[in-house]
Structure 1
Amino acid sequence: MRPPVSNPERPFRTLNSAEAMAALGASIAQGLRRGEAVCLWGPLGAGKSTLARGLVRALTTQGEEVPSTTFTLVQHYEGRIAVAHFDLYRLKRPEEAYELGLDEALDAGAAVIEWPERLEGALPADRLDVEIAIPDDGEGRLVRLTGHGGWVGRGL
């Protein structure tokens, strides 16, 4: 599924390795501000968790271990700013994300959201949409960044 306000004019860039995906996450972390979200869109196996790990590691001072959120649904980290990593794949209703503390996470710091389509239109206004696609040959990943709210005009 594509983000609801995708920017088809913005080209995809190609990333050829998991390391490049993690480096993109670290780069995004440098511009992340309190109250903002990074929404990761893409199919299973696209590299959403790899990007999220790169982002979280860049924000934390000890190169923190970043476990999968598939079963815990949310992990919280302290660093330059507090960041909560949400995996909404198993949610049944959009309200469940807010029951997990999405609003509180944005008030306290920032959020990285995997499977944001589960929010069904209740996306944070200040967000960076990261679309990740798997090419037909399965080699590398195609990534497109689209900023909303405070992310607009930041030279993505």
Structure 2
Amino acid sequence: MDPHDHQSISIPAQNETQTGQIAAAVTDVLRAGDVVILDGALAAGKTFFIRALVAALGSDEDVTSPTYTIANIYETPKFPVLHVDAYRLENAKEFYHLGLDDYFDTGLCLIEWGQRINGFFDAALQIDIEFGATDQDRIFTFSGKATPWKAVFAALKDMSHD
């Protein structure tokens, strides 16, 4: 892999409103077929970020963590959103056997605890969520191959200079 093709940007959010603004900025440039992997400690805000993202896509569906169902599907005006929680999966092979392939091309795939299926997707957008200085503060670090995610990094770069 060309190291110059990998990009990363960190954006702080001081509250849930700012988290929602980050999610909205990203939804403007996400497309059907995109895969976004979210990692972070328990209660870091992975499901909250996905809830904000699905709402920004124009859906009023109730977004909940699919910890036990493993996958939820939400309909939005743009495309379906597949929300996967990989916490209970052992590896990428178990993920493959869920048979969710049809959604990978036609919808947006959002995967919590994505490190559990590390290597399944080779060009996913990675979002790492860390706690900041206070209970409300979060730091969102977006990383991935620059070429497929050029529009996402451009949107986030604009945000980080506001």
Band of TM-score, shorter chain: 0.7 to 0.9
Q: Could you tell me how far apart the structure 1 residues matched to 2:94 and 2:24 are?
A: 28
Q: Could you tell me how far apart the structure 2 residues matched to 1:42 and 1:75 are?
A: 20
Aligned counterpart, 2:53: 55
How much has 1:136 moved relative to structure 2?
A: 5.6
Q: Which amino acid aligns with 1:94?
A: A
Q: Could you tell me how far apart the structure 2 residues matched to 1:71 and 1:6 are?
A: 34
Aligned counterpart, 1:39: 37
1:106 pairs with 2:104:
yes
Unaligned runs of 5+ in 2: 157-162
Aligned counterpart, 1:131: 128
Q: Could you tell me how far apart the structure 2 residues matched to 1:99 and 1:31 are?
A: 30
User: Pick from 2, 26, 29: which aligns with 2:27?
Assistant: 29
Q: How does 1:1-156 map to 2 (within 5 A)?
A: 10-61=8-59, 63-79=60-76, 80-125=78-123, 127-135=124-132, 137-148=134-145, 149-152=147-150, 154=152, 155=154, 156=156
Task: Tell me, yes or no, if the aligned pair for 2:29 and 2:151 is still in contact at 8 Å.
Answer: no
Task: Tell me, yes or no, if the aligned pair for 1:22 and 1:52 is still in contact at 8 Å.
Answer: no
Q: Percent identity?
A: 33
Q: Could you tell me how far apart the structure 2 residues matched to 1:99 and 1:82 are?
A: 21
Q: Which amino acid aligns with 1:68?
A: S
How much has 1:152 moved relative to structure 2?
A: 2.9
Is the deviation greater in 15-24 or in 28-37?
Answer: 15-24
Unaligned runs of 5+ in 1: none
In 2 relative to 1, CA 145–11 (structure 1 residues): closer, same or farther, beyond 3 Å?
Answer: closer
Give the total of aligned pairs: 148
TM-score (norm: length of structure 1): 0.82
In 2 relative to 1, CA 77–137 (structure 1 residues): closer, same or farther, beyond 3 Å?
Answer: closer
Q: Pick 1 or 2: higher relative contact order, CA cutoff 8 A, min separation 6.
A: 2
How much has 1:95 moved relative to structure 2?
A: 1.5
Which SS does the other structure have where 1:66 is aligned? coil
TM-score (norm: length of structure 2): 0.79
Q: Which amino acid aligns with 1:152?
A: K
